[in-house]
Chains A and B, each alone.
Chain A
């Protein structure tokens, strides 16, 4: 099958036309295009149907979209019935979304950003940022490539390939280090930002942290952290007018 490299490149922008209607469906169609080109010469009708299917509603974690994209493209080339391919795509949405969110958004990203914060707070300087961004993007490209190749190799059997891969294990194990890294970073960054430490700003900070934590945990969905911060800043500003 031709077009793997172009499909990989296009997968980097799979959310480029994100909409509430089809979510990343259009991006999937765009990334599928190079993989479906072969079909055009063999069967223009099949090519049109495959193109239409590839851009239908789809949603999952963007880094893992290649698994569904590759599997669907393989199935189109193998002549699988259209209804089966649509079912496969539908079945992959939730697991690929959940696995990707756990591994990346709730795992790797908080780990790397928290560790970067901790290193900076300990005097590590900004070089750590360059290292983190480079390492993360290298891993992101490797994962995207692995997903596409695995999907293309597995076709309709992609579910088995996913469950026997590294993904479920990593999703189950990554939350603990993410929690540790966040816990480590928070006091270190607080102390670094408040340095040189004086009792008054430390007390102000701890009182604000306690009140904000209560609001964020039990105050309801309206109390998002930026709103709490802006409200507290206004109160602080008024306080400075009353108590010089």
Chain B
């Protein structure tokens, strides 16, 4: 893989930071969905198709996540940016699998950094609790902006990690011959199971479960028709 120019790296870092910020802080507008973040990253690299494919695979895993309240979950957005960097320019099947593998490996520790962020915000809050309880507007503003600032730093850090790993793996991949292709169908299978498992969890029982079954049957028929 030819080295990424500094301008491309800077753009990817910026995009990954925006994506990380979108997940919780601002604006929560679907930018952090892996399908979106990886596709844009692929487009920035000039290989939209690779980003789209690896993003679609990671999106299946993201559909299993219900980000409610204080729940802990993997963070796919910045990880998907690294996944697209790894997948871009590689053979379709192998690139998608390798990229998704990196995305999944980064998404787990990225989720832990959200926990760190929440504790860091709480520590800051403790320090300003007297002013906050006294009704100080400046304490509220300070906490809000510091929280967003911390999330910017966190998102940039996670994106930098994903990019560094992607570039490192790409240099190794270039130096060796055929890529292991078996893992791609395996990951696709697990992704499909993850999306279905998530849908089953929210569908519950009765009519809603029946609609999931109808959708699945329709999708299978459509997939067979397209394949034929």
A217 at the binding interface (Cβ < 8 Å): yes
Task: Name the B residues within 8 Å of A116 (CB-CB).
Answer: 35
A229 pairs with B143, CB closer than 8 A = no
B70 pairs with A20, CB closer than 8 A = yes
Say whether, besides A122-B226, A140-B28, A180-B212, A55 and B36 are in contact (CB < 8 Å): no
Nearest CB to that of B53 among chain A residues? A193
Task: Name the B residues within 8 Å of A189 (CB-CB).
Answer: 56-57, 60, 191-192
A229 pairs with B68, CB closer than 8 A = no
Q: What is the distance, in angstroms, from B199's C-beta to the closest C-beta of chain A?
A: 4
A59–B68 alpha-carbon span in the complex (Å) = 10
Nearest CB to that of B129 among chain A residues? A21
B219 pairs with A105, CB closer than 8 A = no
Interface centre among A30, A136, A229, A232 (most CB of B within 10 A): A229
* A interface majority secondary structure: helix
B146 pairs with A17, CB closer than 8 A = yes
B144 pairs with A13, CB closer than 8 A = yes
Task: Name the A residues within 8 Å of B118 (CB-CB).
Answer: 18-20
A137 at the binding interface (Cβ < 8 Å): yes
Chain B interface residue count: which class?
35 or more
How many contacts A-B (CB < 8 Å)?
331
A225 at the binding interface (Cβ < 8 Å): yes
A120 at the binding interface (Cβ < 8 Å): yes
24 A–B contact pairs at CB < 8 A? A13-B144, A16-B147, A17-B146, A18-B24, A19-B122, A51-B135, A51-B137, A52-B133, A97-B68, A116-B35, A118-B219, A176-B207, A183-B211, A183-B213, A184-B216, A186-B219, A188-B226, A189-B191, A201-B184, A208-B188, A208-B189, A210-B193, A213-B197, A233-B183
Mark B residues whose CB is within 8 Å of A: 24-31, 33, 35-36, 39, 43, 48, 52-53, 56-57, 59-64, 66-70, 74, 93, 96, 100-101, 104-105, 107-108, 117-119, 121-122, 125-126, 132-137, 140-141, 143-148, 151, 180-200, 202-204, 207-209, 211-220, 222-224, 226-227
